[in-house]
Amino acid sequence: MRLCIVTDIFDQPDLGCCISALMPDDTACEVLGLAALCARPDLAGETLHQHLFSQGGMDAVVSALRAHLAPDVVGLGYSAGGTALWRAVRLGAPMRALYCVSSTRLRDEAAIAIPNHVMFGALDANAPGADWLEHVPGGYSLFDGCDHSFYTKPESPAVKRIARMIAQQCRPAAGAHPHHLGGAMP
């Protein structure tokens, strides 16, 4: 499996703390940062957030992702990274499936046409509401006792559950075409 990871505005989680560290050994992981994708490596945190969402930087990120992604890639986006991947797919980027973790700005997005699953901490005050969760994503998970940044804690049971979900759902079934998921999204 090929996993393309887009980090959050703080370039988190670190690779060793990323859900990808819990994936099977045959998983090829690529980590992309938002600042690099919008050609502004000098920005991080709130200044990067401002650039992305108020100054057109997200358009540059989405354009870079559209040029980079491939049909055999599974996307994993953290916070604003998930929003960028979602928008890239909505605009035609090819991907096998998409997982978004704590991507609260998805609350303003429409459905996409690939298998997808979104995950939020139940304590994240900015997570999309129940109506969006029920009608837009292919599936969703809310993790009790978790806040927005739960994904930066690899020891978290929620992080371990996400890793198992992605590993299980992204393995092709025996004899399946490699561009199709080996089962429905949870």
Q: What is the pTM of this model?
A: 0.89
Mean pLDDT of the chain: 89
Provide the pLDDT for residue 185: 36
- Tens-place pLDDT, residues 4-28: 999 999 999 987 778 877 787 778 8
| C-alpha of 80 from chain center | 9
Percent of the chain with pLDDT over 90: 75
Whether the predicted pLDDT of 29 surpasses 60 = yes
- Tens-place pLDDT, residues 76-109: 999 999 999 999 999 999 999 999 999 999 999 9
User: DSSP assignment of 74-90, as one string?
Assistant: EEEEETHHHHHHHHHHH
User: DSSP assignment of 125-185, as one string?
Assistant: TTSPPHHHHHHSSS-EEEETT--GGGGG-TT-HHHHHHHHHHHHHTSPPTT--TTS-SS--
What is the CATH architecture of 2-170?
A: 3-Layer(aba) Sandwich (3.40)
Cα distances from 103 to residues 42, 71, 76, 173, in angstroms, run: 23, 22, 11, 29
DSSP character at residue 110: -
Let me know: does 108 contact 30? Beta carbons within 8 Å.
no
Whether the predicted pLDDT of 112 surpasses 90 = yes
118 forms beta bridges with 100, 140
- Which tops the pLDDT comparison, 73 or 178? 73
The Cα 88–Cα 100 span in angstroms is 13
- Tens-place pLDDT, residues 153-182: 988 999 999 998 888 876 654 443 333 232
- Tens-place pLDDT, residues 127-144: 999 999 999 999 999 999
